[in-house]
A and B are shown apart, each in its own frame.
Chain A
Amino acid sequence: MTRIEMTVDGARVSDDVEPRMLLVHYLREKLGKTGTLVGCDTSNCGACTVHLDGHSVKSCNVLAVQAAGHEVTTIEGLAQGGDLHPVQEAFHDCHALQCGYCTPGMIMQSVDLLNDNPHPTEEEVRLGLEGNLCRCTGYHNIVKAVLQAAGGASS
């Protein structure tokens, strides 16, 4: 067991964890942050995407101990003071989710994408979301939502 401390969705947390524990399992099992989901075992699906110090990572691909001392934001910490993040708003408005299973990861990845590139083209959005799988929406409305959140960029 290793003692770790970090900030998750603005709260300081500290736990003893097995060194092999993945960040996603730490979030889900120890902290009850079940908003972050697991969709695969090969780091392909992106359902587990969170922000580590403001940048998106697949939390199934990071050990909990590696996140020690860092700041983690999950889908549950994205809305600030009761206001949805513009990307959350856009997903709702554009019907960019159906079953919702890819959604936390998609949203976290989209936020990161827009932080890096506030006015992407459709092509750039599509490439930027390549690591996140969705089986329901056909991506059409997800891409639309990201472009809308970006302020209706390139048509």
Chain B
Amino acid sequence: MTVTEKAPDQEIGQARRRKEDQRLITGRTRYTDNIVLPGMLHLAMVRSPYAHARITSIDTDAAKASPNVIDVLTGADLGEGQGVCINAWPITPDQKTPVHLPIPSDRVAFAGEIVAVVVARSAAEARDAAELVDVDYEELPAILDLKEAVKDEVLAHPDLGTNKSALWVFDSAAAGTGGDVEEAISKARQDGVLIEREFRQQRLIPAFMEPRSVVVDPTGEQLTMWSATQIPHILRFALAATTGVPESKIRVIAPDVGGGFGGKLQATPEEWITWAIARRVGKPVKYTETRSESLMAAHHGRDQWQKLTVAARKDGTVTGLKVELLANLGAYVAIVGGGVPVLGAFMYNAIYKFPAYHFSCQTLLTNEAWTDAYRGAGRPEATFAIERMMDELADELGVDPLEVREKNWIRHEEFPFTTVAGLEYDSGNYEAATAKAKEHFGYDDLRAEQRRRREAKDRVQLGIGVSTFTEMCGLAPSRVLGSLDYGAGGWEHAEIRMLATGKVEVVTGISPHGQGHETSFSQIVADRLGVPFEDVEILHGDTAVSHKGLDTYGSRSLVVGGEALARATDKVIERAKPIAAHLLEASIDDMEFTGGRFSVRGTDKGMALTEIATAVFTGHNLPDGAEPSIDAEATYDPVNFNFPHGTHLCAVEVDTETGEITMRKYTCVDDIGTVINPLLVEGQVHGGLVQGIAQALWEEAVYNDQGTLVTGSFVDYTLPTAADTISFDTDTDSTACTTNSLGAKGVGEAGTIASTPCVVNAVVDALRPFGVHDVRMPCTPERVWKAIHDRDQDVASGAVPHFGADTGMEGVADRSTGAEGAGQ
């Protein structure tokens, strides 16, 4: 054949509509709670109303006598067989980690902890009976405040003797990656600029829309668990490790999963209890939480106090950065737990060339719900802090916030760049993304309008927020994880099955739950193998299909899982090559592969890869000794993280009489390297932005003085609605990542990481004429109003904290006791 076929349009880069949509828009879905099995029983949990209490007795008689109740079980009944919830990342060798039983039998450590479980024929009957379980508690003092917790006067777990779980420290002088930060600080104190601030990262709730649900079927040779989880593979490992069931006897399936955002990256008591009961009763068992249970007991995110010190020269060149964190673990150390703030440790220096850096994080146990990953996990906290600090530095110097950033950021010709935190940034172009964003946004015009309004003393002031963020994603090189004492690796697995009819099945260890990997992965495979997009099927989320994988979190799916996929396709082509040469009666050295076809160099002879798949299926005519298969698998361990970055700009209008904030414009340009599918990228950015903006303006998990979650339903935990938000102006810029063959960088968390400081910077910027330097998140109208009109209220820190003991003013600007009675 000599006709040069028009190369099919390249799939990568196309705004393909998603293949997974068809089922989802017509209601043909497989969320865990939709699953019904013969003879299936239902569970309801009895939960502690107290934050900290001794369980003195549990009377289950009335519940057991309730209609269609099969059994009512306590921690004592389940005993050792219930297994234990694990922490996979002890951040220091001497970390204090309280034992976390799914159902404790002696003491509860947070309100919402499970004390008994009812097994019944229907969910409604189980819930009715749960009301009849009579538990006597002896209340214990509860610790509900980070700054109190550090004093060790009231203990979350009296047996441990302390609330302090671990102290994790990084120091650039000690690590040899930079200078001594104390030197930089004392120099700045003498003849430079020193900015000290303390920020509160409020507690948030991931609030995925699908409540967690789990079904366990013990009737097959393998015990099967369906769970609304991001991590089926990790769950399988953890079940085997803690419940005594051999790993080979366990199958875990994550069917359709309705969002996660880190909130379903967990090994939960509810899963372990359902597992234990199904094994005990020998029948399929389901547990689906209510939204109230979800808000109360699924892990929360953030919840830190951040002390920041930036040292700089008078010309604005930064010379040192010191970060001191208190991080709330809640009642137990969750699966990643204290690892979340540690992930942030590498990102405080961000895109700036700090010559000296010191980071310390004290993790603390309290009698509140456990905390763990929530979209961004450590990196939003870091980005918030540094981007707020750069604005404060600009204000102190009296220059534009972009100017002070530009003075200090890594210039595009300086890549690859080794940071003071010891990471090597492979690529980036902060100048280009910023220039593009400024233009789209109309930066100069908005600044001019802001000046006019300030001069006119307008009631409604304009604030402009800036965030030039970067993040590390693509968790993670296994060696790095090992050096940080994380309990697993960071590789990913993929397999390509070339079917006899020319179709392709792709198995991935990634476990998507809304990201659209079925579509983006199909695009990659279609290009690599030269097969139609429609002919590629992506299989995932079932350990019987995908035996190996490390699942989805940390913006790793494309950059690690996608790269594994790319490598598996290369292997397929390699395996097919000798067979093609044999069938085409040519030398293997003359074989070329393009557009899905092997051809013999310099001739018109050729055949499609899919034809070779058929030839392999029949096996009639293969080279001597050839294995009749061109299927291939690959396991890829990333060589580095990757570092997406971007410039986000936001304009808000603040009514200085009411404190009301209206977002007028939000523009962002994200550099995420090669874009596989721009439509999916936009979707990730939009959703990320709103979650980040929600932290800035609306969301906070609040406990009362008794340790009861006040925001225990969607009435009080105020997720943004369509009416609260605006349409965004998003764009991308692309400097290819050099550490994977796709050139891609992660995008799942970028919007969330960048937007929170951008919005708070905008709010504070609007209020600068009133002498306001900070507004605590969420920036509610009340807090904004108080910042302007009631400056003695400590919600707005007029004062600069002086962390150094020499000033004798340590802690004067503690804003922990806002007038809102937010509990902490």
Contact = CB atoms under 8 A, between A and B. Distances in A.
Given A38-B33, A98-B259, A132-B722, A139 B513 contact: no
B626 to A, nearest CB: 44
B481 interface: no
Contacts of B488: none
Given A136-B683, A140-B728, 12 more contacts: A37-B29, A38-B211, A39-B210, A39-B291, A40-B291, A100-B256, A101-B31, A104-B27, A126-B722, A130-B721, A139-B725, A140-B727
Interface string A103-136: 1100100000000000000100111011111111
Interface string A57-99: 0000000000000000011101100001000100111010111
Contacts of B261: 135
B683 A137 contact: yes
Interface residues of B, number: 56
B209 A88 contact: no
A138 B689 CA distance: 7
A91 B714 contact: no
Contact of B714 (A36, A40, A126, A142): A40
Contacts of A39: 209-211, 291
B713 interface: yes
B244 interface: no
A42 B26 CA distance: 25
B161 to A, nearest CB: 40
A7 interface: no
A135 B686 contact: no
A132 B209 CA distance: 11
A92 B292 CA distance: 31
B24 interface: yes
A135 B550 CA distance: 24
Contacts of A122: 727
A25 B42 CA distance: 15
B730 to A, nearest CB: 8
Contacts of B686: 137-141
B24 A37 contact: no
Contacts of B725: 126, 138-140
B321 to A, nearest CB: 31
Contacts of B728: 138, 140
B1 interface: no
A98 B33 CA distance: 18
Interface string A3-44: 000000000000000100000010010001111111111101
B259 A135 contact: yes
B715 interface: yes
Secondary structure at the A interface, as helix, strand, loop or mixed, is loop
Which 10 interchain pairs have the tightest Cβ spacing? A35-B27, A99-B514, A101-B258, A100-B24, A138-B690, A138-B686, A44-B714, A75-B27, A98-B514, A34-B34
Interface of B: 17-18, 20-29, 31, 33-34, 36, 124, 207-211, 256-259, 261, 290-292, 513-516, 679-680, 682-683, 686-691, 713-715, 719-723, 725, 727-728, 751
B719 A133 contact: yes
A28 to B, nearest CB: 8
Contacts of A40: 291, 713-714
A140 to B, nearest CB: 4
Nearest to B516: A98
A102 interface: yes
A98 B687 contact: yes
A149 interface: no
Interface residues of A, number: 57
Contact of A42 (B18, B34, B714, B721): B714
The secondary structure that dominates the B interface is loop
Contacts, number: 176
Given A40-B714, A135-B719, A35 B28 contact: yes
A45 interface: yes
Given A39-B210, A135-B259, A92 B22 contact: yes
Interface of A: 18, 25, 28, 32-42, 44-45, 47, 74-76, 78-79, 84, 88, 91-93, 95, 97-104, 107, 122, 125-127, 129-144
Contacts of A32: 36
B723 A129 contact: yes
Contacts of A92: 17-18, 21-22, 25
A18 B28 CA distance: 27
Nearest to B206: A135
A138 B692 CA distance: 10
B689, B714, B720, most chain A CB atoms within 10 A: B714
Given A41-B290, A42-B713, A99-B257, A138 B688 contact: yes
A132 B210 CA distance: 13
Contact of A95 (B31, B36, B291, B682): B682
B27 A136 contact: no
Contact of B291 (A42, A103, A144): A42
A51 to B, nearest CB: 13
B290 to A, nearest CB: 5
Contacts of B713: 40-42, 44
14 contacts: A37-B210, A40-B714, A45-B714, A92-B21, A99-B208, A99-B210, A101-B31, A101-B210, A130-B721, A135-B209, A136-B209, A138-B691, A139-B721, A143-B727
A9 B31 CA distance: 21
A91 B687 contact: no
A20 to B, nearest CB: 8
A84 to B, nearest CB: 7
A103 B719 contact: no
Given A99-B209, A127-B723, A142-B722, A35 B26 contact: yes
Nearest to A98: B514
B125 to A, nearest CB: 11
A28 B515 CA distance: 26
Contacts of A100: 20-21, 23-25, 29, 256, 258, 514
Given A75-B27, A92-B22, A136 B722 contact: no
Contacts of A34: 27, 29, 31, 33-34
Nearest to B725: A139
Contacts of A142: 722
A98 B683 contact: yes
Nearest to A140: B686
Nearest to B716: A42
Contacts of B28: 35, 76
A63 to B, nearest CB: 13
A144 B682 CA distance: 13
Given A76-B26, A129-B722, A95 B209 contact: no
Contacts of B683: 95, 98, 136-137, 141
A100 B20 CA distance: 9
Contacts of B722: 125-127, 129-130, 132, 134, 139, 142-143
Contacts of B727: 122, 140, 143-144
A42 B715 CA distance: 7
A78 B679 CA distance: 26
B209 A45 contact: yes
B24 to A, nearest CB: 3
Nearest to A85: B25
Contacts of A102: 209
Contact of B682 (A18, A103, A141): A141
Nearest to A40: B291
Contact of A97 (B25, B124, B257): B25
Contact of B29 (A35, A125, A129): A35
Contacts of A79: 26
A132 B207 CA distance: 14
Contacts of B514: 98-100, 136
A91 B24 CA distance: 10
Contacts of B33: 34, 37-38
Given A74-B27, A99-B513, A140-B727, A133 B687 contact: no
A120 to B, nearest CB: 12
Contacts of A103: 24-25
Contact of B27 (A25, A36, A45): A36
A132 B258 CA distance: 15
